[in-house]
Amino acid sequence: MHKQVILYFSNTGHTQAVAQKIAAVTGAKLLQLNAQQPYTTADLDYNDVTSRTSLETADETSRPAIQTPDMIALREADTIYLGSPLWWGQVPHVINTLVETDVLRGKQVWQFCTSGSTAITKAAKTLRADYPAVQWEPAHRFTGTITGQEVETWLKESGH
Protein backbone atom coordinates (compact mmCIF):
# COMPACT_ATOMS: atom_id res chain seq x y z
CA MET A 1 0.00 0.00 0.00
CA HIS A 2 1.25 3.43 -0.90
CA LYS A 3 1.89 5.87 1.89
CA GLN A 4 0.24 9.21 1.23
CA VAL A 5 0.72 12.56 2.93
CA ILE A 6 -1.05 15.86 2.45
CA LEU A 7 1.33 18.71 3.19
CA TYR A 8 -0.29 22.10 3.10
CA PHE A 9 0.53 25.73 3.83
CA SER A 10 -2.47 27.76 4.97
CA ASN A 11 -2.82 31.12 6.67
CA THR A 12 -6.52 31.87 6.46
CA GLY A 13 -7.90 28.33 6.58
CA HIS A 14 -8.96 27.96 2.93
CA THR A 15 -6.11 25.64 1.94
CA GLN A 16 -6.49 23.72 5.19
CA ALA A 17 -10.18 23.09 4.40
CA VAL A 18 -9.23 21.73 0.97
CA ALA A 19 -6.49 19.56 2.51
CA GLN A 20 -9.06 18.11 4.92
CA LYS A 21 -11.40 17.26 2.02
CA ILE A 22 -8.54 15.54 0.17
CA ALA A 23 -7.73 13.60 3.35
CA ALA A 24 -11.36 12.50 3.66
CA VAL A 25 -11.28 11.13 0.09
CA THR A 26 -7.76 9.62 0.08
CA GLY A 27 -7.15 8.68 3.71
CA ALA A 28 -3.77 10.44 3.49
CA LYS A 29 -2.08 11.81 6.61
CA LEU A 30 -2.41 15.59 7.11
CA LEU A 31 0.70 17.67 7.81
CA GLN A 32 0.70 21.46 8.05
CA LEU A 33 3.66 23.43 6.75
CA ASN A 34 4.32 26.58 8.78
CA ALA A 35 6.65 29.49 8.32
CA GLN A 36 9.14 29.91 11.16
CA GLN A 37 7.79 33.43 11.59
CA PRO A 38 3.97 33.24 11.28
CA TYR A 39 2.27 35.60 8.87
CA THR A 40 0.12 38.31 10.43
CA THR A 41 -2.94 39.87 8.85
CA ALA A 42 -0.78 42.88 7.89
CA ASP A 43 1.80 40.53 6.33
CA LEU A 44 -0.93 39.03 4.13
CA ASP A 45 -2.26 42.37 2.85
CA TYR A 46 -1.70 41.98 -0.89
CA ASN A 47 -2.90 45.56 -1.47
CA ASP A 48 0.12 46.86 0.47
CA VAL A 49 3.25 46.74 -1.72
CA THR A 50 5.37 46.85 1.45
CA SER A 51 3.64 43.88 3.12
CA ARG A 52 5.71 40.79 3.84
CA THR A 53 3.93 38.70 1.20
CA SER A 54 4.35 41.41 -1.43
CA LEU A 55 8.06 41.77 -0.71
CA GLU A 56 8.71 38.00 -0.55
CA THR A 57 6.83 37.35 -3.77
CA ALA A 58 8.69 40.13 -5.59
CA ASP A 59 12.05 38.63 -4.55
CA GLU A 60 12.48 35.34 -6.43
CA THR A 61 15.38 34.41 -4.14
CA SER A 62 13.33 34.77 -0.96
CA ARG A 63 13.22 31.54 1.04
CA PRO A 64 11.43 32.14 4.34
CA ALA A 65 12.47 29.76 7.10
CA ILE A 66 9.99 27.00 7.83
CA GLN A 67 9.16 24.94 10.89
CA THR A 68 10.37 21.46 10.06
CA PRO A 69 7.39 19.28 9.19
CA ASP A 70 7.32 15.56 10.00
CA MET A 71 10.26 14.69 7.74
CA ILE A 72 10.01 10.98 8.56
CA ALA A 73 6.44 10.85 7.26
CA LEU A 74 7.48 12.79 4.15
CA ARG A 75 10.47 10.54 3.47
CA GLU A 76 8.34 7.40 3.87
CA ALA A 77 5.54 8.69 1.63
CA ASP A 78 5.24 7.63 -2.00
CA THR A 79 2.60 10.22 -2.80
CA ILE A 80 2.45 13.77 -1.50
CA TYR A 81 -0.38 16.22 -2.03
CA LEU A 82 1.21 19.66 -1.76
CA GLY A 83 -1.16 22.53 -1.15
CA SER A 84 -0.90 26.27 -0.79
CA PRO A 85 -2.68 29.48 -1.68
CA LEU A 86 -1.51 31.36 -4.75
CA TRP A 87 0.17 34.71 -4.28
CA TRP A 88 0.31 36.71 -7.51
CA GLY A 89 0.01 33.51 -9.53
CA GLN A 90 2.84 31.75 -7.70
CA VAL A 91 3.20 29.51 -4.69
CA PRO A 92 4.42 31.28 -1.55
CA HIS A 93 8.19 30.99 -1.25
CA VAL A 94 7.88 28.82 1.87
CA ILE A 95 6.98 26.09 -0.64
CA ASN A 96 10.32 26.64 -2.39
CA THR A 97 12.06 26.46 0.98
CA LEU A 98 10.49 23.03 1.52
CA VAL A 99 11.12 21.69 -1.99
CA GLU A 100 14.77 22.75 -1.79
CA THR A 101 15.27 20.38 1.18
CA ASP A 102 15.05 17.60 -1.45
CA VAL A 103 12.51 15.68 0.64
CA LEU A 104 10.20 15.60 -2.41
CA ARG A 105 12.87 14.33 -4.81
CA GLY A 106 11.56 11.33 -6.73
CA LYS A 107 8.16 11.52 -5.04
CA GLN A 108 4.84 11.60 -6.84
CA VAL A 109 3.60 15.11 -5.97
CA TRP A 110 0.09 16.32 -6.64
CA GLN A 111 0.08 20.10 -6.34
CA PHE A 112 -3.13 21.85 -5.39
CA CYS A 113 -3.86 25.44 -4.61
CA THR A 114 -6.63 27.66 -3.41
CA SER A 115 -7.57 30.79 -5.26
CA GLY A 116 -10.82 32.51 -6.04
CA SER A 117 -9.81 33.36 -9.59
CA THR A 118 -6.13 32.80 -10.41
CA ALA A 119 -5.32 29.68 -12.43
CA ILE A 120 -2.67 27.27 -11.15
CA THR A 121 -1.02 27.00 -14.58
CA LYS A 122 1.82 29.50 -14.01
CA ALA A 123 2.66 28.17 -10.54
CA ALA A 124 2.67 24.54 -11.71
CA LYS A 125 4.83 25.36 -14.74
CA THR A 126 7.34 27.23 -12.57
CA LEU A 127 7.62 24.39 -10.02
CA ARG A 128 8.10 21.82 -12.80
CA ALA A 129 10.84 23.91 -14.40
CA ASP A 130 12.62 24.80 -11.15
CA TYR A 131 12.45 21.34 -9.56
CA PRO A 132 12.69 18.64 -12.26
CA ALA A 133 13.73 15.92 -9.77
CA VAL A 134 10.18 15.90 -8.39
CA GLN A 135 7.60 13.77 -10.19
CA TRP A 136 4.93 16.45 -10.65
CA GLU A 137 1.45 15.10 -11.31
CA PRO A 138 -1.45 17.17 -12.70
CA ALA A 139 -2.08 20.26 -10.56
CA HIS A 140 -5.50 21.57 -9.59
CA ARG A 141 -6.98 24.82 -8.27
CA PHE A 142 -9.80 24.63 -5.76
CA THR A 143 -12.07 27.40 -4.54
CA GLY A 144 -13.52 27.62 -1.06
CA THR A 145 -16.58 25.58 -2.09
CA ILE A 146 -14.74 22.31 -2.68
CA THR A 147 -16.61 19.03 -2.43
CA GLY A 148 -15.38 15.49 -1.99
CA GLN A 149 -16.73 14.78 -5.48
CA GLU A 150 -14.47 17.49 -6.93
CA VAL A 151 -11.44 15.85 -5.30
CA GLU A 152 -12.46 12.43 -6.63
CA THR A 153 -12.94 13.85 -10.13
CA TRP A 154 -9.49 15.52 -10.07
CA LEU A 155 -7.78 12.32 -9.02
CA LYS A 156 -9.75 10.12 -11.45
CA GLU A 157 -9.22 12.43 -14.42
CA SER A 158 -5.52 12.52 -13.59
CA GLY A 159 -5.30 8.73 -13.58
CA HIS A 160 -4.84 8.38 -9.82
Is the C-alpha dihedral spanning 6, 128, 69, 86 positive or negative?
negative
Decide: pTM greater than 0.85. yes
Measured CA to CA, the distance from residue 82 to residue 72 in angstroms comes to 16
pLDDT of residue 120: 93
Domains, the chain, ordered by start: 4-157 (3.40.50.360)
DSSP type of residue 103: T
pLDDT in tens, the chain (160 residues): 469 999 999 998 889 999 998 998 889 999 999 999 999 999 999 899 999 999 999 999 999 999 988 999 999 999 999 999 999 899 999 999 999 999 999 999 999 998 878 889 999 999 999 999 999 999 999 876 777 788 888 877 766 6
